[in-house]
Amino acid sequence: MRFIKHPSEGDGAFQLAPLIDIVFIVLVFFIVASTLREAERAMGITPPVAENTVEPVRKPFQIVVNIARDGTIVVNKDVWEMPRLVERLKALKDYAAAGKDANFSVIIRADGQTVHQNVMNVMDACIAAGVEQVWFVTVDKEPASR
């Protein structure tokens, strides 16, 4: 009796092409993510120093609002004006809710030398947009020299 091998049946060999594709995609993701994080830090903002700091776990629907020393609000390298901040935060919150994630939060990264009113304005915008979780960025106090 003669058996015919169907094309859908593999010869049992391990396919490397899909594995290489997945590794490449993951590599590109981490390169882009690290580049965005470095761009955020290169803005010249020096957050205030705190005694005890805790690094929050980054979640998918978090946005970092940078406040420069002169009060300029920068998000993802774009300057946002204060009057439109509320509507943009509302839109982002709605987008997160459409993705079935109710944990939308804002991370405020303000320069330590900015006027306190600038931070309060961003906090007011968060309240007006209905954002319930707001985080603040600080840096650790340098260890004392011995």
pLDDT confidence of residue 125: 93
The domain containing residue 67 runs over which residues? Answer: 46-140
Q: And the tokens for 102?
A: 């109710």
Q: What is the sign of the dihedral through the CA atoms of 78, 83, 87 and 93?
A: positive
pLDDT confidence of residue 119: 92
Q: 126: which residues sit within 8 A by CB, 6+ positions away?
A: 89, 106, 134
Mean pLDDT of successive 10-residue stretches along the chain, which has 146 residues: 62 79 86 65 64 68 88 87 88 82 83 90 92 84 52
Structural domain contains residue 87: yes
Structural domain contains residue 14: no
Phi, psi of 74 (to 5 degrees): -125, 130
Structural domain contains residue 124: yes
Give the separation between CA 80 and CA 89, rounded to whole angstroms: 11
pLDDT confidence of residue 18: 86
pLDDT confidence of residue 146: 36
How many domains, the chain? 1
Q: What is the CATH number of the domain that holds 53?
A: 3.30.420.270
pLDDT confidence of residue 16: 84
Q: Which residue, chain included where needed, has tokens 């915008």?
A: 125
